[in-house]
């Protein structure tokens, strides 16, 4: 029995310490003889993990290795991730996660997360009973239709909720057992996937319309019963579904859409911080967006609210925000616009992208198109002609989809660009100056927003909570960051940044009267006490 117990303990990813068990623990827990003689503390184990990870030839192999570690030893995985986040985050998140999702069925090792198909209609509530953990606080759900810039990947998109929740844990200290990744597997229009004999998803065309909405509604309702304190994060839904679901549930349950609202908060924070370099007043900025999907429209909506917070009227705020899509400048009279684009369709002659820049003369250019190279040399040089310090955000993920690279932005602007991107780029040296590209990654805000919502026991997430998150993130950009040309903090500070964001978000939830938990001394100590710290217990 002692041997069975010992083997079971070593196989328990939550409780195992592997070679870190002491002599006394090995005797007491039936582990004697089941481990090598030498005792390795967690720092030594990290050395071994890093050495093995680094000898892999390709990033996708490193992803597979790290996923296996997460399944084998949860504490060691998160300790290594937190302590080496600059190196490891790109391997478990963007850009490597894009390839991992494309190959998800082919590199599948062990089931993770929760899967729902149309055949489960009417059974979702009872199915949730199959999930072992009952105190779920964060759910990330996708239907796999718009994974990063890669399109419809069906059930292969499960890599996204898994990766996002790993960042909730690492970046904001959400307890791992309180996280639930969910795949709403309603089929795929990707015929290549449906014909793949290794594909693991629902191998039929996508369910749409009333059946789709009913399945989502059943899931959301079941969560309110089974996990009433859970935050639902909608992730990588196609734009029409993303907006419809957000508008349906945002005032009913604790939820948000990261592509719309999380991206918006990160971008707004970057715009705030950019004014410390450009010297311009935030409320005086003109901003142009390339693309008209959910991400950039969400950014515009939040910036519009921020402008109004600075004293502009709604019409004045809207007049400072311009869109360009594949048809050119978004203007009134066009019959091909979606409802979320209409507020930004100005009365103006139709123009192509470059002509729009020359005519409108924006201070800030933000792209989220999924189309690489759309910020051309001519585009960048034009921005530099009309701005002493042009602000250029190339936010598309993964790296291969970025509108331009950091090197291009700096070279084409003679080193004057204020640059941010969705995926990481290497430092750029130009004309004797070193430019550190800022990564405007959603990981800077969604973990902190989730943490704030949890400690405040929020019922919904208000727009003011996203504004508070953006202000908090901008405030964490140091003078040293600004001196290096970076408008986001260094990644190793992300846990401290998330804690600051959580504090502001929780406080705003209370002021907006959507928080059910308050503390006379504030939320700071509560946040510190809650945050998961991956160390081996005695």
Q: Catalytic positions, please?
A: 93, 164
Q: How far apart are CA 237 and CA 329, in angstroms?
A: 25
Q: How far apart are CA 350 and CA 352, in angstroms?
A: 7
Q: How far apart are CA 145 and CA 341, in angstroms?
A: 21
Contact 473, 269 (CB under 8 A): yes
**How long a stretch of residues is the chain?**
538
DSSP bridge pairs for 391: 364, 418
For 374: left if phi > 0, alpha if psi spans -120 to 50, otherwise beta; the answer is alpha
DSSP bridge pairs for 290: 324, 367
Residues 6 or more apart whose Cβ sits within 8 Å of residue 513? none
Closest Cα to residue 305, out of 290, 283, 325? 283
Q: Counting beta carbons within 10 angstroms of the beta carbon of residue 529, is it exposed (0 to 12), middle (13 to 18) or buried (19 or more)?
A: exposed
- Give the per-residue SS3 of 455-505: HHCECCCCHHHHHHHHHHHHHCCCHHHHHCCCCCCCHHHHHHHHHHHHHHH
């Amino acid at each position: 029995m002692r041997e069975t117990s010992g083997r079971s303990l070593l196989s328990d990813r939550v409780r195992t310490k592997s070679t870190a068990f002491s002599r006394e623990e090995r005797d007491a827990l039936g582990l004697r003889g089941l481990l090598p003689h030498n005792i390795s503390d967690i720092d030594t184990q990290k050395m071994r993990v890093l050495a093995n990870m680094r000898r892999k030839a390709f990033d996708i192999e490193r992803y597979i290795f790290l996923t296996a570690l997460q399944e084998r030893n949860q504490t060691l995985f998160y300790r290594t991730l937190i302590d080496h986040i600059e190196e490891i985050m790109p391997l478990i998140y963007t850009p490597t996660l894009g390839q991992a999702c494309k190959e998800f069925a082919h590199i599948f090792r062990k089931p993770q997360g929760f899967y729902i198909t149309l055949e489960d209609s009417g059974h979702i509530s009872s199915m949730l009973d199959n999930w072992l953990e009952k105190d779920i606080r964060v759910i990330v759900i996708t239907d796999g239709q718009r994974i990063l810039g890669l399109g419809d990947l069906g059930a292969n998109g499960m890599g996204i909720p898994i990766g996002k929740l790993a960042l909730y844990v690492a970046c904001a200290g959400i307890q791992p057992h309180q996280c639930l990744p969910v795949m709403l597997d309603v089929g795929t229009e990707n015929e290549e996937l449906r014909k793949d004999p290794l594909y693991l998803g629902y191998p039929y065309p996508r369910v749409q319309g009333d059946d789709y909405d009913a399945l989502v509604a059943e899931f959301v309702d079941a969560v309110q019963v089974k996990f009433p304190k859970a935050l639902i994060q909608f992730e990588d839904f196609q734009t029409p579904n993303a907006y419809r679901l957000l508008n349906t549930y945002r005032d009913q349950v604790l939820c948000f859409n990261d592509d719309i609202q999380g991206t918006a908060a990160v971008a707004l924070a970057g715009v705030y911080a950019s004014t410390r370099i450009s010297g311009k007043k935030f409320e005086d900025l003109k901003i142009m967006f390339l693309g008209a999907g959910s991400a950039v429209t969400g950014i515009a909506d939040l910036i519009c609210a921020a402008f109004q917070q600075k004293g502009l009227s709604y019409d004045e705020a809207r007049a400072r925000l311009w869109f360009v899509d594949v048809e050119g400048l978004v203007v009134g009279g066009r019959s091909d616009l979606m409802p979320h684009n209409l507020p930004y369709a100005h009365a103006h002659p139709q123009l192509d992208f470059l002509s729009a820049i020359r005519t409108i003369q924006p201070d800030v250019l933000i792209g989220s198109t999924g189309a690489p190279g759309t910020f051309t040399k001519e585009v960048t040089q034009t921005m530099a002609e009309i701005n002493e310090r042009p602000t250029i955000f190339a936010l598309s993920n993964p790296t291969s989809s970025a509108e331009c690279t950091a090197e291009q932005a700096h070279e084409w602007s003679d080193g004057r660009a204020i640059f941010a991107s969705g995926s990481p780029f290497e430092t750029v040296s130009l004309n004797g100056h070193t430019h550190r590209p800022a990564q405007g990654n959603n990981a800077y805000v969604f973990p902190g927003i989730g943490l704030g919502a949890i400690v405040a026991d929020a019922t919904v997430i208000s727009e003011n909570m996203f504004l508070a998150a953006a202000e908090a993130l901008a405030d964490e950009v140091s003078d040293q960051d600004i001196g290096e040309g970076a408008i986001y903090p260094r990644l190793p500070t992300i846990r401290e940044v998330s804690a600051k964001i959580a504090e502001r978000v929780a406080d705003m939830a209370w002021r907006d009267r959507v928080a059910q938990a308050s503390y006379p001394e504030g939320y700071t100590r509560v946040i510190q006490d809650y945050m998961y710290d991956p160390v081996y217990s005695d």
